[in-house]
Amino acid sequence: MAVATHFSFPVNYVLSEASRSRGRFDRKLVRAVASGDSVAPAISEETKVKLGGSDLKVTKLGIGVWSWGDNSYWNDFQWDDRKLKAAKGAFDVSLDSGIDFFDTAEVYGSKFSLGAISSETLLGRFIRERKERYPGAEVSVATKYAALPWRLGRESVISALKDSLARLELSSVDLYQLHWPGLWGNEGYLDGLGDAVEQGLVKAVGVSNYSEKRLRDAYERLKKRGIPLASNQVNYSLIYRAPEQTGVKAACDELGVSLIAYSPIAQGALTGKYTPENPPSGPRGRIYTREFLTKLQPLLNRIKQIGENYTKTPTQVALNWLVAQGNVIPIPGAKNAEQAKEFAGAIGWSLTDDEVAELRSLASEINPVVGFPVEYL
């Protein structure tokens, strides 16, 4: 059975390592010039939300950078200068469009994941180049710790974090997350997150792919140290609503933990780009099959119709639907400037309650693809 989401990516990482041992954005954009030098476009506070119970504020929509540097799942198994320039364009246009929250991970693009170049390395380079152009530029960075079976104890979290910081060329990150639950040693990992906060290496901490029970346990363990669990990053989209069915979404709302939604446009399936005659290439083609895309067409047709009423694309409608659920921060993956600009146009406006309900009803008639299995542990 095919598995959607970024589960396939960490699996490559684990197996390899083990074998070794367009839309409108309604916001206020302020630009200024001082002493003849350009100043970075300012991000309006109106576009930001607090991340859980932390003091960190991030934009209502972020950008996932899993694909940057990857050639094991994305990019048709190839990474080249053209794709590098496209990723740099996605980064710059995101910031120019008012989106300054980027999510990466130590496994993305890693050689241990059979990747070409670390996503963290690329993001760090792009940030440095941006700040050389705009010294006052601010970028919010989230990255993740890989809970590999041979990594034990809180010290492993701090060690991995410092390695990530070196690749990112930063002294600290805004959000550090456990990428998935470990087979064992999760208490130590959570203690490591707490240590990272106390050492000033991170502003906020979160988890990813955590079930309701694991989420509650993590929340309570960190709470004892006076540290809020800021987020839980899970697979969530209009056609994959497991977080609602498993109680994760309700628990996040109850505890004040922000839900960060990865694969919010179902890896492109909700964009309208793919049809039964034109399925996605690579591993995604085995997940979003011709049969599945045939069943998806009525929903996609209605999304397109609704979008036309707002002069919005299907992608922007699908992302706005997620935002309408409340306490949700989608992080679609941007490979190029055009996609980044389109994603920015997903916020600053709202679907009606009736439209949100109608799309949910239509989506309920479609059998979802399989998510990250640990969600059900």
Separate counts of helices (H) and strands (E) for the chain: 13, 12
Alpha carbon separation from 346 to 23, 65, 66, 191 (Å, rounded)? 7, 18, 20, 37
Query: Whole-angstrom Cα distance, residue 259 to residue 235?
Result: 10
What residues form DSSP beta bridges with 333?
64
Query: Whole-angstrom Cα distance, residue 356 to residue 349?
Result: 13
Do residues 90 and 82 lie in contact, with contact meaning Cβ atoms separated by under 8 Å?
no
List the one residue out of 368, 56, 351 whose CA is nearest residue 235: 368
Extract the tokens encoding 54: 């932390």
Query: Which positions are catalytic?
Result: 108
Query: Whole-angstrom Cα distance, residue 197 to residue 176?
Result: 9
Query: Whole-angstrom Cα distance, residue 61 to residue 340?
Result: 11
Q: Would you call 308 helix, strand, or coil by DSSP?
A: helix
Give, in degrees to the nearest 5, the angle at Cα 203 between 198 and 206.
Answer: 95
